[in-house]
Amino acid sequence: MLNDIEKVYYSEEQLANIVAKLGKQISEDYKDKNLLLVSVLKGSVIFMADLMRAITVPCEIDFMCVSSYQSGTKSSGVVKIIKDLDINLEGKDVLIVEDILDSGRTLSYLKSIIEGRNPSSIRICTLLDKPERRVVPDLMADYSGAEVPDEFVVGYGLDYNEKYRNLPYIGVLKREIYSE
């Protein structure tokens, strides 16, 4: 698996620093709030697990799993809920925790679903952002760990065909792996 990596973008140490910084900022901003972290499965699980331990104010967690309907190679922007939240969102300050913000379609749809359930507030925290790829122009993360260029990255939860999620760092695979 390690031989499949072409280039490391963010090492374990760099990721730990990024997560610590986000956790500190979130802890300050949600001091007197009712924080509920909503992790979008599966890509954000590792980020979520580290981020919640970097947050020093009380919080609840929940998980949601969605899949986007594909039309050819493009995602349509309509997502299907595979696993819904258990917690009632009324009175909660929801922070959506995502692995990567790409076109923005998934998060845009998810945000509108969550908004319809009357939370006190709703914000987005993404580990990585690929701003060059955005097709939903006004969709921005309130908290963003780091930017990546328009390349397909894996590791730290992010997959290629469901593999490589267990790499402890974020990197790019060798070209021949993607074309296999």
Catalytic residue numbers read: 102
Residue 177's H or E segment, with its range, is: helix 175-178
Answer for which of 9, 10, 35, 43 binds Mg ion (CB under 5 A) is 43
CB of 106 to ligand IMP, least distance (A): 3
Residue 89 CB-half CA count within 13 A: 22
Answer for which of 9, 59, 105, 171 binds ligand IMP (CB under 6 A) is 105
Answer for which of 50, 93, 99, 129 binds ligand IMP (CB under 6 A) is 99
> How far is Cα 157 from Cα 142, in angstroms, rounded to an integer?
21
Q: Both tokens of residue 178?
A: 């993607």
Cis omega (within 30 of 0) on the bond before 31? no
Query: Does 100 participate in binding ligand IMP (rule CB under 6 A)?
Result: yes
Query: Does 102 participate in binding ligand IMP (rule CB under 6 A)?
Result: yes
Query: Does 157 participate in binding ligand IMP (rule CB under 6 A)?
Result: no
Q: Quick one: 50 or 98, whose CB is closer to ligand IMP? A: 98
Query: Edge-to-edge strand order for the sheet containing 170-173?
Result: 5-10, 170-173, 153-154
Residues that bind ligand IMP (CB under 6 A): 43, 75, 98-107, 152-154, 158-159
